[in-house]
Amino acid sequence: MHRGAYALAILATGFMTDPASAYMAYVSNEKDNTMSVVDTATMQVVKTVNVGQRPRGITISHDGKHVYLCASDDDSIEVIDTATLEIVDTLPSGPDPELFVLSPDGKTLYVANEDDNLVTVIDIEGKKVLAEIPVGVEPEGMGISPDGKTMVNTSETTNMAHFIDTSSHEITDNVLVDARPRFVEFTPDGKQAWVSAEIGGTVSVIDNQTREVVQKITFEIAGLRAESIQPVGVRITADGKKAYVALGPANRVAVVNTETYEVEKYVLVGQRVWQLAFTPDQKTIISTNGVSNDITFIDVATDEPVQSVTVGALPWGVVVSPN
């Protein structure tokens, strides 16, 4: 009996040695309207859930009970119960929601409405729109400071990072960055916002005090033409020391030292890597590789790819359960 349970446990955890790291990763598959649920310990898809049309942005409530998913072509945000994996609710999102960010208190969603040049502020509990903030053309990237006071949206054709005061819902600063800004990530201390520019091929580091670009990070990979290096997703470790930048059709994730801004490594993953998510224990970071229809598990300690797992068609975003 005991031996059997032990064997099962080993089987279940695969070759990742820490059995505590059994989280669920939720992946939005843009092209086949599904969400893949992946056990991060076994690195296997445990369920594929049918969701709304063109699922892209994905996040999870702080208690891990609900996944929020942008169903872009349905003009709504779906709420999925993580226990039953059923869609239990929808939130009003404004047209074409692409990407969103959850406030640190877990009560508010800030949504980029790509077709309407708006950021929509949604009260999750009351299921109502609190504000619509006009921003630049094709809003996409959404980031929020750890104190919840500053939200940043990027607009892909205007090429700006719009700093928005979350109490007044007004833009306080517009910072020009390089072409097609896609993603915003604050450093854990809230002092910097990192903004990727897909076509510009750079990451701009913006000082949250002065609202000025203090550093522009560039990438270079031997044998690859510069145009194929297209930074999208950015994630920074909880200790603030390393940043991971997904480089799109370069098929690599760059590991950046946040102190020197030097790229320390390029990790080869699948094709057209866009978004990233850490497991809560920060031991693993997962990338979505749209064109190869898979996700890659990267070991954060060694920055080596561990395994790639096939999910649905054109995986876009990923989020990992907090517990």
Q: Report the interface residues with another protein, using CB under 8 A.
A: 96, 114-115, 117, 134, 136-138, 155-160, 162, 170-174, 176, 179-180, 199-201, 211, 225, 227-228, 230, 249
Q: Nearer to another protein by C-beta: 210 or 257?
A: 210
Q: Nearer to another protein by C-beta: 104 or 249?
A: 249
Sign (positive or negative) of CA dihedral 177, 268, 43, 53: positive
Least Cβ distance, residue 214 to another protein (angstroms): 16
Least Cβ distance, residue 153 to another protein (angstroms): 11
Output phi, psi for 294, to 5 deg.
-140, 175
Least Cβ distance, residue 286 to another protein (angstroms): 24
Least Cβ distance, residue 143 to another protein (angstroms): 17
Q: Nearer to another protein by C-beta: 204 or 258?
A: 204
DSSP letters spanning 52-111: SSSEEEEEE-TTSSEEEEEEGGGTEEEEEETTTTEEEEEEE--SSEEEEEE-TTSSEEEE
| Residue 151 CA to its chain's centroid (Å) | 15
Least Cβ distance, residue 261 to another protein (angstroms): 20
Q: Nearer to another protein by C-beta: 35 or 135?
A: 135
Q: Nearer to another protein by C-beta: 57 or 278?
A: 57
CA dihedral 256, 262, 265, 266 (to 10 degrees): 80
- Rounded to an integer, what distance in angstroms lies between the CA atom of residue 175 and that of residue 160? 5
Least Cβ distance, residue 108 to another protein (angstroms): 20
CA dihedral 112, 40, 250, 311 (to 10 degrees): -80
Q: Nearer to another protein by C-beta: 159 or 287?
A: 159
- Rounded to an integer, what distance in angstroms lies between the CA atom of residue 168 and that of residue 37? 37
Bridge partner list, 253: 246, 267
Q: Nearer to another protein by C-beta: 98 or 185?
A: 98
Radius of gyration, alpha carbons of the chain = 19
In terms of Cα–Cα distance, which of 48, 45, 51 is closest to 69? 51
Least Cβ distance, residue 63 to another protein (angstroms): 34
